[in-house]
A and B are shown apart, each in its own frame.
Chain A
Amino acid sequence: MGHGSGGKLSHELITSLFLRYFGNDKLNELTDSAIADLPECKLAFTTDSYVVDPVFFPGGNIGNLAISGTVNDLAVSGAVPLYLSASFIIEEGFDMEQLEEIVASMRDEAGRADIQIITGDTKVVRKGQCDKIFINTSGIGIIEKNAGHISGGKLAGPGDKIFVSGYLGDHAMAVLSARNELNISSNVTSDVAPLNQLIKSITNTGAIHYMRDITRGGLATILSELVQKRDFGVYILEKDIPMREEVLGFCELLGFDPLYLANEGKVMMVVDNEHAEEILYILRQHPLGKHAAVIGELVSEKPGRAVIESLTGGTRIINMLSGEQLPRIC
Chain B
Amino acid sequence: MRFIDEFRDKDIIDRLLRQIHNISVKEISIMEICGGHTMAIRKYGIPSLLPPNIHLISGPGCPVCVTSRAYIDNAITIANQPDVIFTTYGDLIRVPGSTSSMEEAKASGADIRIVYSTLDALEMARQNPDKKIVFAGIGFETTTPSSAVAILQAAKENVDNFFIYSAHKVMPPAMKALINEGIPINGYIGPGHVSTITGTDMYKPLVEKYGVSVVISGFEPVDILQSILMLVRQFEKNKPAVEIQYRRIVRPQGNPKARELTEQVFGPRGDWWRGLGDLPDSGMKIRGEYELFDAENHFNIKNRIAKDPSACLCGEVLKGLKSPEECTLYKKVCTPSNPVGACMVSSEGACQAYYRYANDE
Contacts and interface: CB of A to CB of B under 8 A. Distances in A.
Contact of A330 (B43, B47, B114, B139): B139
Contacts of A182: 116
A174 to B, nearest CB: 18
Contacts of B348: 255, 328-330
Given A245-B1, A329-B63, A316 B93 contact: no
Interface stretch (A107-115, A202-210, A288-296, A305-313): A305-313
A310 B358 contact: no
B360 A248 contact: no
B42 A316 contact: yes
Interface residues of B toward A: which range? Answer: 35 or more
Contacts of A316: 42-45, 48, 357-360
A313 B91 contact: no
Given A326-B93, A328-B91, A330-B139, A183 B45 contact: no
Interface string A295-330: 000000010010101111111110100110111111
Contacts of A317: 357-360
Given A305-B360, A323-B336, A327-B89, A314 B116 contact: no
Interface of A is mostly: loop
B10 A311 contact: yes
A178 B220 CA distance: 29
B357 A329 contact: no
A181 interface: yes
Contacts of B92: 329
Contacts of A323: 94, 336-337
A159 to B, nearest CB: 20
Contacts of A257: 43, 356
Contacts of A100: none
Contacts of B337: 322-323
Contacts of A181: 114-116
B341 interface: no
B161 to A, nearest CB: 21
Contacts of A95: none
A233 to B, nearest CB: 10
A249 interface: yes
A329 B138 contact: yes
Contact of A312 (B1, B8, B356): B8
A252 interface: yes
A312 B221 contact: yes
B355 A319 contact: yes
B333 to A, nearest CB: 13
Given A182-B116, A328-B348, A248 B8 contact: no
Contact of B360 (A245, A249, A315, A329): A315
Contacts of B120: 183
Contacts of A310: 43-45, 221
B208 to A, nearest CB: 28
A314 B193 CA distance: 25
A92 B336 CA distance: 37
Contacts of B358: 316-317, 319
A203 to B, nearest CB: 33
Given A307-B360, A311-B8, A311-B221, A249 B1 contact: yes
Contacts, number: 112
Most B CB contacts (10 A, CB to CB) among A248, A255, A257, A311 go to A311
A34 B151 CA distance: 64
B49 A329 contact: no
Contacts of A326: 90-91, 93-94, 114, 347
B14 interface: yes
Interface string B317-359: 0000000000000000001110000000011100000011111
A329 B89 contact: yes
Nearest to B2: A245
A326 B92 CA distance: 9
Contacts of A249: 1
Interface string B276-296: 000000000000000000000
Contacts of B4: 252
A20 B336 CA distance: 47
A316 B89 CA distance: 28
Contacts of B49: 312-314
Interface string A215-252: 00000000000000000000000000000010011001
B97 interface: no
Interface centre among B47, B142, B356 (most CB of A within 10 A): B356
A314 B336 contact: no
Contact of B1 (A248, A314, A315, A325): A248
A325 B225 CA distance: 27
B90 A327 contact: yes
Contacts of B115: 181
Given A325-B347, A327-B90, 15 more contacts: A248-B1, A257-B43, A305-B360, A307-B360, A312-B10, A312-B45, A316-B359, A326-B93, A327-B91, A327-B114, A328-B89, A328-B91, A329-B91, A329-B138, A330-B63
19 contacts: A311-B10, A312-B44, A313-B10, A313-B45, A314-B48, A314-B221, A315-B360, A316-B43, A316-B357, A319-B358, A326-B347, A327-B114, A327-B116, A328-B36, A328-B89, A329-B63, A329-B92, A329-B138, A330-B36
Interface of B: 1, 4, 8, 10, 13-14, 35-36, 39, 42-49, 63-64, 89-94, 114-116, 120, 138-139, 142-143, 193, 221, 225, 335-337, 346-348, 355-360
